[in-house]
Structure 1
Amino acid sequence: MKLKTNMYGLMMVVAVMACGIRVNAQDSIITKEELPKPALDFLSQNFSAQKVIQVTRDTDYMVKTEYEAVLDNAAKIEFDGDGNWKEIDGNHNPIPPGPVPQKIKQYIDQNFSGQKITQIEKNSRKYDVEISNGLELEFTPDGKFIRIDD
């Protein structure tokens, strides 16, 4: 009986902690001007033809902040807390070539002629790139092809 009580107590603690975690994560809608300067510069350099229709700031634990900008053509750009882009999702439409490393552009032009990049995500280990035919490609941080992701 004591084991059941201890297990029940542990489950309650886990449930309360899980609820607390969600309470600490906060999404809030902000103005475009509240984005960090690198994000504003990125938008003006690469998406000047589109209008930003919504910007969201996501803060977890008052420590990690990320931003998401939604454009009038349904594209979404995610930024880290410093305003560096992390992901560009063209929503099945081509994204501008500016943010794409030259080696990745060249590889796609040579091996997937006529295909456009519709989504790109970067982190410290790789680039994930989706092209207009639906294929997802992986590249190293310096732009070398790794594989087609299934």
Structure 2
Amino acid sequence: MKLIFLKTIVVAGILFSFTACNNDDDNNNETNISLAELPEASRNLIESNFTGATANRVVRKNAADNDGTLYEVWLSNNFEIDFDTNGFWTDIDGNMQQVPNALIPEAILSYAQANYSSFFIEGIDKETYGFQVEISNDVDLKFNADGTFIGIEN
């Protein structure tokens, strides 16, 4: 009886080991590329809005995410920017730093300055409904595609 129990434990251990070593941890769904391999629109955005920053890492995914993200860029100034297949941003994360005003739609920038003047925009995402904006006080605002305020993200 002890032998059957021991064999069962060994077999179960082997099965769990194989399950734990699946391909989820490798990055087969993305490839490191150079900044020069990004679409021109992406390179222009980085060069004109993040002067002096260099790319620590640039990744091209094998398939675009649900939001259209195909490229991810991590800059030396701690900004993270995602781009779609055409090179337009889908997500800008300042990691506690202000997103350059030139990258924020005017209606959204005006709303934030009028209603949250003591804070700054530290992140902006394109969403199916429009935009989600993260303010430096940890409030997430929702705007439609025209930049009209529609609510606070819960």
**Interval of TM-score (by shorter of Structure 1 and Structure 2):** 0.7 to 0.9
1:47 aligns with 2:53: no
1:71 aligns with 2:100: no
Which digits, 9 at most, give the CA deviation of each residue in 1:29-52, with x for residues without a partner?
Answer: 100000011111111121123221
Which digits, 9 at most, give the CA deviation of each residue in 1:103-123, with x for residues without a partner?
Answer: 111111111112100000013
Which of 43, 62, 65 aligns to 1:59? It is 62
CA distance in 2, matches of 1:26, 1:99: 29
CA distance in 2, matches of 1:49, 1:111: 31
CA distance in 1, matches of 2:72, 2:83: 6
1:149 aligns with 2:139: no
Structure 1, unmatched stretches of 5+, are: 1-18
Alignment partner of 1:115: what SS?
coil
User: Cα RMSD (Å) of the superposition?
Assistant: 2.4
CA distance in 2, matches of 1:56, 1:124: 23
Conservation of the 8 A alpha-carbon contact between 1:116 and 1:131: yes
1:102 aligns with 2:117: no
Residue number in structure 2 paired with 1:84: 88
What one-letter code is carried by the residue in structure 1 that aligns with 2:78? Answer: A
Alignment partner of 2:70: what SS?
strand
Conservation of the 8 A alpha-carbon contact between 2:69 and 2:83: no
Which of 137, 140, 144 aligns to 2:141? It is 137
Which is greater in Rg?
Answer: 2
- What TM-score, normalized to structure 1? 0.78
How much has 1:124 moved relative to structure 2?
Answer: 4.6
Residue number in structure 1 paired with 2:123: 119
What one-letter code is carried by the residue in structure 2 that aligns with 1:50? Answer: A
Structure 2, unmatched stretches of 5+, are: 1-21
Residue number in structure 2 paired with 1:9: none
How much has 1:65 moved relative to structure 2?
Answer: 6.8
Conservation of the 8 A alpha-carbon contact between 1:59 and 1:65: no
| Corresponding residue pairs, total | 130
Which portions of structure 1, spanning 4 or more consecutive aligned residues, are displaced by more than 2 angstroms? Answer: none
